[in-house]
Amino acid sequence: METAVLFFKNWIITAFVFYLISNFSYLLGQRRMGGMLIVAGVAANIAALIGRGYIEGTWYPSLMVEKLFMLPSLMAVTVLFLFGRGKIVEGRLALAPFALCCGITMLLPIEAPLPWAKYQTISAALFFLTEALSFALLVVAGVLAFACLVSSPNVEVSYSRMILWGFVVYTLCQISGAIWAYLGWSYPFSWSTRHLTSASLWCLYAAFIHAHFIGIHPRLKAACAAFGIIPFMYMMYHHQIIGLLKMLSARIT
């Protein structure tokens, strides 16, 4: 168990070193070097996740696709995709949420506890994977939309397409999540905070896509896309946010 944790820790730190240097490379205009470093970081990130999923002779898929540790690699792939498509402005803007995501993930505890039996299903692994990918796409889209509001770069087409694909992946997330909930808890949906937040975000982006096709003012669309970052950040990091608020409350009292 200690060996697995040490393996994961070493490789995840290696990945974040590559990610950090790649950000500086891109900011200095060294796109080729930045791309190579991101690829190396993604490889190290995947190696860390594979090691994390192996505990005492058994593979646990849900640990291998742990969304918060997998998220930096998906953000990195999004950055590579934008630069690879020649979207230089969009790629540079995407570096900001990528760096923030890496910074937050580095503060998370490394230990990998044994998952409950309810987490050891393919639907659970698919849920975490699609949730992290949709987060990467929709948060980058929100940052591009925010940039559209404050400085008006010509990125409307890029963030609209990213939201469309993010919505498709997030729909798959809802379906796999419902299957997992049914198999694990005997119901596909509950009126819990987690389920309601997830369903509300799906409705928000469904409304955005409808607005795109009926000719809503571009700045209003950009504002809606940028606003989506806030609930998405809460949904992904709600355990950490609640823990931080509890710690601050305890210190105050």
The contacts of residue 130 (CB under 8 Å, 6+ apart) are: 169, 170, 172, 173, 176
Query: What's the rounded Cα separation, in Å, for the pair 25 and 251?
Result: 40
Per-residue pLDDT tens over the stretch 72-126? 999 999 999 999 998 988 999 999 999 988 888 888 877 666 666 566 778 888 9
Query: What's the rounded Cα separation, in Å, for the pair 64 and 61?
Result: 5
Q: Which of 131, 42, 142, 47 is nearest to 90 (CA)?
A: 142
Per-residue pLDDT at 71 exceeds 80? yes
Residue 173 in tokens:
């997330």
Mean pLDDT of 171-195: 86
Which residue type sits at 82?
L
Per-residue pLDDT tens over the stretch 128-182? 899 999 999 999 999 999 998 888 678 888 888 999 999 999 999 999 989 988 8
Query: Could you tell me the pTM of the whole model?
Result: 0.88
